[in-house]
């Protein structure tokens, strides 16, 4: 178990570390106490945050409006809330508290 994921009233809070301008968007293991996520978009004009929201919505089976960056909007290190995820990706499942 790792502190990068926790449940809060049915929502999932994840701590993530972004690597922008990657060749593709994907989970990339752990980076300290955070899940490393490679994002294809550059960190310019909110493009990386928009791509992160879209990527997480697709991975967790929710709408983009169900994904909210709750801290770290202008930073690589972010906390994100996913409202009532419909599915849990394998890369995250093993990190969840049971």
**Domain hosting residue 30, numbered range:** 5-93
- pLDDT of res. 17: 96
Residues with Cβ within 8 Å of 43's Cβ and at least 6 positions away in sequence, in order, are 18, 20, 21, 76
Whole-angstrom distance, CA of residue 52 vs CA of residue 25: 8
The answer to whether residue 2 scores a pLDDT higher than 70 is: no
CATH number at residue 81: 3.30.1200.10
- pLDDT of res. 18: 96
In a domain, residue 16? The reply is yes
Domain count of the fold of the chain: 1
What are the C-alpha distances in Å from 44 to residues 23, 58, 71, 74, 81? Answer: 16, 22, 18, 10, 22
Per-residue pLDDT of 16-40, as tens digits, reads 999 999 999 999 999 999 999 999 9
In a domain, residue 98? The reply is no
């Amino acid at each position: 178990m790792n502190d990068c994921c926790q449940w809060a009233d049915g929502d999932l809070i994840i701590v993530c570390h972004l690597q922008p301008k990657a060749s593709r968007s994907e989970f990339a293991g752990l980076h300290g106490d955070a899940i490393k996520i490679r994002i294809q978009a550059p960190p310019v004009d909110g493009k990386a945050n928009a791509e992160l929201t879209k990527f997480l919505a697709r991975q967790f089976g929710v709408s983009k409006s169900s994904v909210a960056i709750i801290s770290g909007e202008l930073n690589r290190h972010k906390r994100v809330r996913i409202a009532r995820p419909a599915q849990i990706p394998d890369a995250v499942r093993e990190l969840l508290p049971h």
